[in-house]
Amino acid sequence: MSTARELPTAEEFKNEVLEVYPPKIAKKRAKQIIINKIENEDEVPQIMANTRTIPGIITMRGCAYAGCKGVVLGPTRDILQITHGPIGCGFYSWLTRRNQTKPETDADVNYMTYAMSTDLQEDEVIFGGEKKLKAAIDEAVALFHPKAIGIFATCPVGLIGDDVHAVARAMEEKYPDINIFGFSCEGYKGVSQSAGHHVANNKVFTDVVGLDDSFSKPGKFKFNILGEYNIGGDAFEIERIVKDCGLTLHSTFSGNSTYQEFSSAHNVDLNVVMCHRSINYLAEMMDVKYGIPWFKVNFVGVEATSKSLRKIAQFYQDEALLKQTEEVIAREVEEVEKIRLDVKSRCEGKTAVLYVGGSRAHHYQELLKEIGIDIISAGYEFAHRDDYEGRKVMPSIVVDADSRNIEELHVEADEKRFKPRISPEEKAKREAEGFAFSDYNGMMPDMPASTLIIDDCNHYELEELLDRYHPDLVCAGVKEKYVVQKRGIPMKQLHSYDYMGPFAGYKGAINFYKEIDRLLNCNAFKFTKAPWDESPELSATYSVNE
Ligand code: SF4
């Protein structure tokens, strides 16, 4: 509830939160809790990001395996995915993000409904698991004979030294018509799931993209969307809109995607990037190797969707396409506007905090602002400085041991297939006119001054935020959900949405407005009393001290 309660300033909050930490930890967290300030040319304060979580702090982050298999590759439909590791890694990365897919016919394969794992046991941890992995591939081929198999390494596999790449090569010799590739995405690699995204990008780029020069979808204006994972049907809604505009969506990396779409993705003229953090590497590499330009889009929020559609249409500089795009925007916005204004009348002035993803905490601010909700604080779990401050800071990002752990591919223009889709002169001309390529301005320049930006927010800091600011809404992940709800604060899970969707595009905006309206204006949360408010918390002492 928003009331006239005296709320701490961002400075007061930061100082009080840091007070409880030991000095060394407080010093580090001080660089990750930033009070926003925007100066000339969108200059914002520097934030420390993509560094290790301090042991003992309850982080909201996931592991590299989750980023590689769970996020980037998980939503693909017909790449058979085998988790080489204990069953828990495989099971808990299986469909937890509610990715959807739609095979074109009933005869088309769909492996998303299967969780496949080598189910590593003690024996394999001691004597090695490669034999079991080969047996799993034999079994998968006998059952499904897929076009491609991805093998995902987990922590124990890295610790015992199983070589998933050697197994992939050996099994590819045995089954030459199947593309078999491994991902070194052991959970402990890097500081968060972000490392797994990078590993996934690299392997998809070297082993899949560019294999099929012949396949192409019909249409004049072909493009790929990178970093859209079709959670709750988001990609379906985006596909609907872009098709109406007259565009051809060749491949979505990776929501509702196929192996064929990936392997022929270099045959398009444009890449647009939704989730900058998880897939900007692939966009960059495709630009260098094939000459496909990219720019950032956002299909979350009505204004953002319209802006993104216009930018894509402007790229092709085709009058008919521009006209058709404007007609679609006018038609869709008219439908959304009535609902938006109605919902806004009940939500205006409410407050929210967001801790999610490496792009979502930025994207979803659009939808919240559209219904009059103010953002008190936002942050990412696994972002890098460029996601906060913009890509302009990339040259100044210090490469540490953890980042060095992830291979940085050296990419060159393909001798035969490099074809700049627009000439360097034309690109420079458009950039001079304000059309940004290969760029992302980051979240902080879009947020008001004096708001709190918190990287890798932990449970203690989140609880302090809730106690001191009493936000009306929290948008975060499943690990934070119950802590928030038990306090009687509505919580929208933005990793998988828990239920509902799509929230992208125009119809998605309507769904989101209605969902937030229901959450903020229903009485249920007012009756919720946190158990720790009524009964004392458990306390204990260390027996060694007695
Ligand atoms: S951290 Fe390691 S063991 Fe845990 S889910 Fe990730 S890969 Fe599996």
Do the Cβ atoms of 196 and 68 come closer than 8 Å? Answer: yes
Expressed in angstroms and rounded, the spacing between residue 85 Cα and the centre of ligand 1 is 9
* Position 2 pLDDT exceeds 60: no
> Is 63 a pocket residue for ligand 1 (Cβ < 6 Å)?
yes
In whole angstroms, give the CA distance from residue 151 to residue 185: 10
Residue minimizing CA distance to atom 1 of ligand 1: 187
pLDDT for the residue 376: 96
Q: Which amino acid is at 298?
A: N
pLDDT bucket at 544, cuts 50 / 70 / 90: low
The pLDDT of residue 207: 98
At 4, is the pLDDT very low, low, confident or very high (cuts 50, 70, 90)? low
Examine the residue annotation and report whether 97 is marked as an active-site residue of this protein: yes
Confidence bin at 402 (pLDDT 50/70/90): confident
Instruction: Give the C-alpha separation, 396 to 419, whole Å.
Output: 30
64-190: CATH topology is: Rossmann fold (3.40.50)
Rounded alpha-carbon distances, angstroms, from residue 17 to 26, 411, 452: 9, 44, 12
The pLDDT, as a whole number, for residue 58 is: 85
Q: Which range has the worst mean pLDDT, 64-68, 161-165, 308-312, 395-399?
A: 395-399
Share of the chain above pLDDT 70, in %: 97
Choice from 59, 61, 65, 159 to test ligand 1 binding pocket (greatest atom count within 8 A of CB): 65
Assigned fold of 222-348+395-432: Rossmann fold (3.40.50)
At 202-252, the pLDDT tens digits run 999 999 999 999 999 999 999 999 999 999 999 999 999 999 999 999 999
Active site residue 197: yes
**What is the spatial distance between Cα 253 and Cα 265, in angstroms, rounded to a whole number?**
10
Residue 267's closest CA among 216, 221, 203?
Answer: 216
Average pLDDT, the chain: 95
- Closest C-alpha among 357, 377, 382 to residue 496: 357
Domains 64-190 and 222-348+395-432 belong to one CATH topology: yes
Percent of the chain having pLDDT more than 90?
90
89 lines ligand 1 (CB under 6 A): yes
Domain limits of the chain?
Answer: 64-190, 222-348+395-432
Residue 76 backbone dihedrals phi, psi, to 5 degrees: -75, 150
Give the pLDDT band (50/70/90) at residue 3: very low
- Tens-place pLDDT, residues 130-149: 999 999 999 999 999 999 99
pLDDT tens, residue by residue, 163-199: 999 999 999 999 999 999 999 999 999 899 999 999 9
* Tens of pLDDT, residues 323-355: 999 999 999 999 999 999 999 999 999 999 999
Q: Dihedral sign, CA of 282, 288, 291, 297?
A: positive
What is the Å distance from ligand 1's center to 490 Cα? 30
Q: Which of 29, 61, 97, 385 is catalytic?
A: 97
Residues contacting 272, CB < 8 A, separation 6+:
223, 224, 225, 226, 294, 295, 296, 297, 308, 312
- For residue 545, pLDDT over 50 is answered with no
Determine the average pLDDT of the residues in 392-404: 91
CA–CA distance, 538 with 441 (Å, rounded to integer)? 46
- Model pLDDT for residues 477-499, shown as the tens digit of each residue: 999 999 999 999 999 999 999 99
**What span, in angstroms and rounded, lies between the C-alpha atoms of 193 and 64?**
4
**pLDDT, greater one: 539 or 379:** 379
> pLDDT (tens digit, 9 = 90+) per residue, 93-121?
898 889 999 999 999 999 999 999 999 99
Instruction: Tell me which of 63, 68, 136, 195 is the catalytic residue.
Output: 63
- Per-residue pLDDT band at 543 (split at 50, 70, 90): low
Say whether pLDDT at 40 is over 50: yes
Ligand 1 center to 278 CA (angstroms): 19
| pLDDT in the model for residue 546 | 44
Distance 483 CA to ligand 1 centre (A): 23
Closest ligand 1 atom to Cα of 92:
5
Beta bridge partners of 226: 253, 273
Q: Is the pLDDT of residue 5 over 70?
A: no
